[in-house]
Amino acid sequence: MLYALTVAVEGGHAKATLLGLDSEGWVYVGLTIFLLLAIFVGKAPQKIVEALDGRIAETRRQLDEAKAIRAEAEALLSEARSRTQASAGDAAAIVAQAEADAKAMLAKAESDAAELIARRSKMAEDKIAAAERGALAEVRAQAAQAATRAAAELIGARYGAEADKTLVDRAIAGIGRPN
């Protein structure tokens, strides 16, 4: 039968092991777990940065589309100007319409891009704020657990069976007395 806790005698000193590891081995196991957690938790900010970079790339792609639309509008404008020279009657109306369309497209593309950037920035800020709130709550929970453990250890150290007996005797003696 295999026992999880064993005691080995080396050089006249008893050496306790748990699952085949002595205290030094468990220190290495704990350090390894800590380092792995540090690596995986440390990658969270990198993932946030990667997500933001992706959003920035998408915004740049949309801005490039807007520039392409602008170039297309400018091409349409130049085409309209060439037609203007061919037909003098409708020239002023065609040029005015093309310029208005180009300006409207450009204004819409710029406002859409600005809205998108603002919205995505707000989303990123909200995510970061939520992550900060979560981390703060976790730290508070861990602090409360540590305080509870410390209080339990302090009470356990100060009050033993003898102190409990004295308190019980006092309480029993005070039951029959009027205040």
* pLDDT tops 50 at residue 11: yes
- Contact yes or no for 77/99 (Cβ under 8 A): yes
pLDDT tens digits along 129-154: 998 999 899 999 999 999 899 888 88
pLDDT of the residue at 178: 65
pLDDT tens digits along 87-106: 765 666 777 888 999 899 99
Coil vs helix vs strand at 7: strand
Give 69's contacts (C-beta < 8 A, 6+ positions apart). 105, 106, 109
* pLDDT tops 70 at residue 56: yes
Coil vs helix vs strand at 30: helix
Q: Give the residue-averaged pLDDT of 17-29.
A: 85
- Decide: pTM greater than 0.85: no
**Which residues lie across from 21 on neighbouring strands?**
18
pLDDT of the residue at 48: 77
